[in-house]
Amino acid sequence: MPPSTMAAIDTTPDWRTPIVNILTDRAEGLIGTEERQLRQRARGYVLVEEALYKTGVCAPCSDA
């Protein structure tokens, strides 16, 4: 019988974690300027089915 394979799940918070927390109203422990700055930064992102996307202007692709 072959040995079983295990995959580690990385749960270390990265740069996206605070933004996702702000967008889902799960931000805790933020005060004053820190919260305001993070909310301002999070305005440039949107959550679609738990995936974080950066918002912006979409332009058609050119063949040039």
The pLDDT, as a whole number, for residue 51 is 84
Q: How do residues 5-45 score in pLDDT, each as one tens digit?
A: 777 777 778 888 888 888 998 878 788 898 899 999 999 88
In whole angstroms, what is the distance from residue 63 CA to residue 29 CA? 49
In whole angstroms, what is the distance from residue 14 CA to residue 7 CA? 19
Confidence check: pLDDT of 64 > 60: no
pLDDT band at 59 (very low <50, low <70, confident <90, very high): very low
Confidence check: pLDDT of 62 > 50: no
In whole angstroms, what is the distance from residue 45 CA to residue 17 CA? 12
The pLDDT, as a whole number, for residue 57 is 54
The pLDDT, as a whole number, for residue 37 is 92
